[in-house]
Amino acid sequence: MTDKNNDDDFSLFSAEFSGIKKLTQDTIKLAPKNIKKKQMVQEKVAANFETEHFSDGFQPHLSDEGPVRYKRDDAQKYLLKQLRRGDFSPEIILDLHGLNQLEAKRELGALLACCKKEGLYCCSVLHGVGTYVLKKQVPLWLAQHPDILAFHQAPLEFGGHGALLVLVELADWQMKREFE
């Protein structure tokens, strides 16, 4: 009796679905995600964000006497002394020789973005002396940036009058990694 029921079921099923064609599988292939391109766009946006902190019209109050120096109000008070003595050595150096103001501003923004990304605490900016254009502008730009803790005219071994040693504020996890 089970064979007869199976045959009846199969014949009923076949009769019901006669004339139906099998569906073809249409596969949609998605383009692979371009992660490198996305990272490049994010870095470009970060670099543009960094340069937006620099205004040519803003004049922070920097001391006219002695070497060029700046310390953020909430920074530790002895940072300037340590920078002056050369206690910090730069982990990365940016040379602005031969650049105009716009190019120098972009490169400075890219440097600060790189320092934040890579966890670099101290950097050196070689602006040179020349016509004093960059020598005057670079400290004004740096004083405007929210991630700059302090800067001071570099000791002779790091560039002297034509360079600045800059301390960049890092996240806590970057500082812990730095000093381990």
Report all structural domains of the chain as residue ranges with CATH numbers, in order of start: 68-178 (3.30.1370.110)
Which of 12-26, 27-41, 91-105 bottoms out in mean pLDDT, i.e. has the lowest? 27-41
Cα-based angle 37, 117, 102 (whole degrees, multiple of 5): 80
> Average pLDDT for residues 10-20, to the nearest whole number?
84
What secondary structure letter does DSSP report for 85?
Answer: H
Question: What phi and psi values does residue 53 have, to the nearest 5 degrees?
Answer: -75, -15
Q: pLDDT digits over 51-96, tens only?
A: 566 777 777 777 777 888 999 989 898 999 999 998 999 999 999 9
- Rounded CA-CA distance 81/90 in Å is 16
Find out whether 161 and 77 touch, Cβ atoms under 8 Å: no
Q: Is the dihedral of CA 85, 88, 90, 96 positive or negative?
A: negative
DSSP state of 158: G
**pLDDT digit string, tens, across residues 115-152:** 998 999 999 999 998 888 899 899 999 999 989 999 99
